[in-house]
Structure 1
Amino acid sequence: MTNAMTTTSAIQTAGKAKSKLSPRRKVYEVGMRTLLYLSAGATCLLLLFLIGYIFVEGMPNLTWEFLTTEESVLNDTVGILPAIQNTVYVVVVTLLFALPLGVGAAIYLTEYATNRKLVTAIEFATETLAGIPSILYALVGMLVFCQMMKLGTTLLAGSLTLVIMTLPTIIRTTQESLKTVPQGYREGALGLGAGKWHMIRTIVLPDSIDGIVTGCILSIGRIVGESAVLMFTAGMSTGLQDFFSKGGLTHSSGATLTVALYGYAKENARFDLAFSVALVLLVITLVINLAAKLAGKRLKK
């Protein structure tokens, strides 16, 4: 009852203060609110325009044969099944390496590291790495993974290069999410006798899972949309790969959907097929993001 009365009085006080505003202040508030609404509306309209334009241009050529066959001059077929397969492979392998490393590094920097100068230096390094152009990662991946480690131009080399490229994003987003957990939660858990790792696993991580999922979604968007890195390290093959044959995982070379889109638009000038590939890429990204959101909710529970 007391809380309800306090809330009511606070609302009444705010209303009186608002009514006492000068005409100039009222005009300023209305103007700023209008700008905010216009900005939000413009953002939503731009997103709807992009999705609608890709859908209208890409839907006419999106057939079952296009989705389930590979490109072949002999059979006179044009398909993107190998590109879909390669895209899923690259996303899974990259996240398989990047998520544990990124989340683990963020936990160490936030919860365990005591040398603040070292932590500051690492944070500065990760922020710098996050802003480096992808073409530089492509050159480093080609020299290190393709030549020095003798992996050749393979999907595995491309995935490992993308691991390095997405690690800074995962580390920084996870760190910021961990820092939002109130310190009282940690102190309460430790005061009740919980160990350090038990406290992190049962208190800190569940409360910061939203930020971890956000980092995962941002990383997926960068992985799926990357072309320069994969053209240098994964190749542009359009044939189906047998990942489960002898040496299949380390000797497979292929183009992802983004690289295939580049090939259709730039090399072949087939913009109709490029828009169809863009539509498939949009749907796959949406499905992966929704799956990440659902996984985050389940992990939080």
Structure 2
Amino acid sequence: MSASNDPDMQGGGVADGAQAEQVSSAQRIKRALANGKSERISKNTSNAIMLGVFRVAAAITTLVLIAIIAYVVINGLPHISLDFIFGWPEGVNAEGGIWPTIVSTVYVTALAMLICTPIAVLAAVYLAEYAKQGRLVNIIRYAADTLASVPSIVMGLFGYALFVEAMGLGLSMFSAAMALALLMLPIIMRTTEEAIRAVPRYIRWGAYGLGATKWQVVSRIVLPSAFGRIATGIVLGIGRAIGETAVVLYTMGQAINMPISPLDSGRPMTVHLYLLANDGINMNAAYGTALLLMAIILAFNLFARWLSRKSK
């Protein structure tokens, strides 16, 4: 039997290769440390200084978040009541409650999720499991990352030009949901792809060894194993959609009514808050709306963290 076909020889070769790679990595690390600039202060002092810098940066970030939350809570909590939550706006939208805006927000977000999630998950499965890794796949990933960085005002104008004008859907829940789905798509797709890639390879190999097909492995093993992280990405995308203003302002309109059909118009909480604060109509209602909106987004983020921990 030749050495190339001997399993023991092959195993030894793999082990020698791994050991050689470890030695090479250790040599590169030693070389990088040796070629570095000579330190004017001791290692312990520089480590303590940088640790202090990191702690100060973390403290500043936390204090800014606490300050924003405290400001909104202090100004908005006195105006929160059942009448405010479940009532309807009165007069020139300066008094009364915000119940239609809450329904519009939940309606358009749920519709956007139903449109975006299947497309994003299927695209992620294709990129992670079926596509041949190369330049085309890298271009698709780059396009998704670029789409995630597009300003919401640009996406709102694009949604208005395409869905409202070109497709003739008008200012409606469906137009806004389609535009929001474009914002959610890269978040859910990239998160789902990373979740699928995080599933250990040996699980796939075991399934293939038992005679499972590619689709059976993906649908019955990979996706259930990655469900927790996929759900986290979906929740984060929903949180992004709830907090958007420009997109829904250009595609849904500002009408105060209870939407029934997807072709009905409406006014989400973000637009209602913007109009109240920008025109100075009723700052008390603006702070109350901001507090409820912040509570909804915070609840989605906490739910995403809970799903992430549960999946681990």
Which range, TM-score by smaller chain?
0.7 to 0.9
Matched, 1:135 2:153: yes
TM-score scaled to structure 1, two decimals?
0.82
Match of 1:249 among 246, 262, 267: 262
Secondary structure of the corresponding residue to residue 89 of structure 2: strand
Matched, 1:107 2:125: yes
| Alignment of structure 1 residues 130-169 onto 2, 5 Å | 130-169=148-187
Matched, 1:286 2:281: no
**Cα gap change, 1:182 to 1:295, in 2 (>3 Å):** closer
State the match for 2:16 in structure 1: none
Q: C-alpha distance in 1, partners of 2:85/2:116?
A: 29
Across the aligned residues of Structure 1 and Structure 2, the Cα RMSD in angstroms comes to 2.5
Cα deviation, 1:111-155, whole Å, max 9, x if unaligned, reads 011262221121111111111111221122112211222111011
Q: 1:70 touches 1:240 (CA, 8 Å); kept in 2?
A: no
**Cα gap change, 1:207 to 1:25, in 2 (>3 Å):** farther
Match of 2:200 among 182, 186, 191: 182
Mean CA deviation greater in 24-33 or 103-112: 24-33
Q: C-alpha distance in 2, partners of 1:214/1:41?
A: 26
Deviation at 1:170, TM superposition (A): 1.3
Mean CA deviation greater in 78-87 or 168-177: 168-177
Q: C-alpha distance in 2, partners of 1:36/1:189?
A: 45
Q: C-alpha distance in 2, partners of 1:57/1:66?
A: 15
Mean CA deviation greater in 154-163 or 24-33: 24-33
State the match for 1:24 in structure 2: 42
Q: 1:71 touches 1:239 (CA, 8 Å); kept in 2?
A: no
State the match for 2:255 in structure 1: 237
**Cα gap change, 1:115 to 1:34, in 2 (>3 Å):** closer
Query: Partner letter of residue 71 of structure 2?
Result: Y
Query: Partner letter of residue 124 of structure 1?
Result: Y
Gaps of 5+ in 1: 1-21
Secondary structure of the corresponding residue to residue 249 of structure 1: coil
Q: Percent identity?
A: 36
Q: 2:120 touches 2:185 (CA, 8 Å); kept in 1?
A: yes
Matched, 1:65 2:77: no
Query: Partner letter of residue 275 of structure 1?
Result: Y
Give the number of the structure whose alpha-carbon radius of gyration is greater.
Answer: 2
Deviation at 1:167, TM superposition (A): 0.6
Match of 1:203 among 221, 228, 253: 221
Matched, 1:96 2:114: yes
